[in-house]
Amino acid sequence: MALWGNNDAKGAGGTVTLDYDTLIVTGSGTTFGQVGAAATGNVIRFGSRTGTYYGDAVIVGIASTTNLTIDSTAGLNGAAISGAAFQISESPKFAVLDSHYSRVGAANTEVVTVLKTNATYTAGVGTNIVLVDSVSGLLAGDTLVSGSVSKVVTSIASTSVSLASTIASAITAAAAVNFTRVTGGNNAKVYGVAEGGISAASGTSYALTHEGWVGIHTYIDSDGNLRVKNEVLVAMSGITTGNTPTYPPV
């Protein structure tokens, strides 16, 4: 069984529920074992790094398209997993139990404000594009917060940001708009980084020189500055990416 592959975005439709005692994962609308979907030896990531994230585990058996078994819960945070989203990756299995990247003990992440600005024009209900006075220092994966609106940023232009979904409340012209980022001592994850990720991160704190499977660890230093450490776990080309968030990360 290979220790890793080159696909960070295998088929992961449906939702999953985990029995911590039996280590059995029951899926709803899933395609476990099918071509391009979860396979024995893959890593299953429970939840989403841009939402509720429970941790990772290695798949050791697949009984059907809706039933698989994981090797252990040592890489999970212990919270109940029921009807949760999931992702499937061929990332290195050894990283699941690496204390640097395990979800266990990762509760001390924090949310910091990386930019305070204002809306340039009114963004009406149903749009996912917001024009702002500044986009300085923003990264895809940051979160826009304005009034009751809180949405993940998926892309950044010179005077605007695109959001992961449409807004249900308008953001009026000149309204305060803040952008936040998750960080902290244990905000660490293994990313599949392709050539596009190298280009997107160039000139930022997340700049890398190698494609492959890379461990990223962010924290805030004593002066309040965002710091990023990276560790190339497997240097390789041909990585297929697409899981959320893509590189560069939040």
> At residue 30, does pLDDT exceed 80?
yes
| pLDDT at residue 83 tops 90 | yes
Q: Which residue, among 49, 100, 96, has the nearest Cα to 76 in the 3D structure?
A: 96
- The answer to whether the CB of 140 falls within 8 A of the CB of 248 is yes
Q: Which amino acid is at 244?
A: T
Q: For 124-217, where are the alpha helices, taking DSSP H only?
A: 195-201
The most confident of the ranges 58-72, 94-108, 201-215 is 58-72
Mean pLDDT of the chain: 87
**Rounded average pLDDT over 47-75:** 90
What confidence category does residue 183 fall into, taking pLDDT thresholds of 50, 70 and 90? low
Burial class (CB in 10 A: 0-12, 13-18, 19+), 16: buried
What mean pLDDT is predicted for residues 128-135? 97
What is the C-alpha to C-alpha distance for residues 112 and 145, in angstroms, rounded to an integer?
12
CA distance 182 to 180: 7
Q: Are 16 and 29 in contact (CB under 8 A)?
A: no
Adjacent-strand bridge partners of 182 = 111
Q: Please give the Cα distance from 177 to 159 (Å, whole number).
A: 13
Instruction: Report residue 49 as tokens.
Output: 């790094």
pLDDT for 120: 97
Q: Calculate the dihedral angle through the C-alpha atoms of 240, 246, 248, 250, rounding to the nearest 10 degrees.
A: -160
Report the relative pairing of strands 129-131 and 67-70 from DSSP bridges.
unpaired
First to last CA, the chain: 32
Predicted pLDDT at 109: 58
Q: Which of 52, 33, 5 is nearest to 244 (CA)?
A: 52
3-state SS assignment for residue 133: coil
Q: How far apart are CA 230 and CA 240, in angstroms?
A: 20
CA distances from 172 to 30, 162, 164 (A): 41, 16, 19
Distances from the Cα of 43 to the Cα of 46, 97, 113, angstroms: 10, 11, 32
Mean pLDDT of all residues in 241-249: 79
User: In degrees to the nearest 10, what's the CA dihedral of 76, 82, 84, 90?
Assistant: 40
**Region 109-137: what's the mean pLDDT?**
92
pLDDT band, residue 23 (cuts 50/70/90): very high
**What value, to the nearest 5°, has the Cα angle with vertex 198 and ends 154 and 162?**
10
Q: What does the pLDDT read at residue 140?
A: 81
**Residue 152 — very low, low, confident or very high, per pLDDT cuts 50/70/90?**
confident
Task: Please indicate whether residue 250 or residue 176 has the higher confidence score (pLDDT).
Answer: 176
